[in-house]
Amino acid sequence: MALSLRVMVKVVMPALVLLVTLNVLAAQAEYERVGFYPNVVFSCGALLRGDTIHMYYGAADRVIGLAAASCQDVLDAMEWL
C-alpha cells in the first residue's frame, strides 16, 4: 500500500485549514478490504524519521499495517482549499 494519509495543515490561525490531501488513506489490498469492517482503514499513529513519515494503520478492523512516504511526496499531494 502506498502511504495514503489525509493531511491537513493549519497555518496562521489554528481554525483555518488552507491545504489538504484528498483520498490518500484508502483500502486497496485484499487484507484491507476483507474483514470485520470491510473497506475501512484508519490511522493509529505516525512517526517522522528524517524526511520519511511512517504511519501505522488499522485495516478491516483485523490487521495493523505500516505505510511510509517522504514528506515531499505528501507536500506535493496537497491542494489549496
pLDDT tens per residue across span 12-45: 566 777 788 876 778 889 999 999 889 989 988 8
CB 61 within 8 A of CB 40: yes
Closest CA to 74 of 41, 33, 25, 26: 25
pLDDT given at position 3 = 47
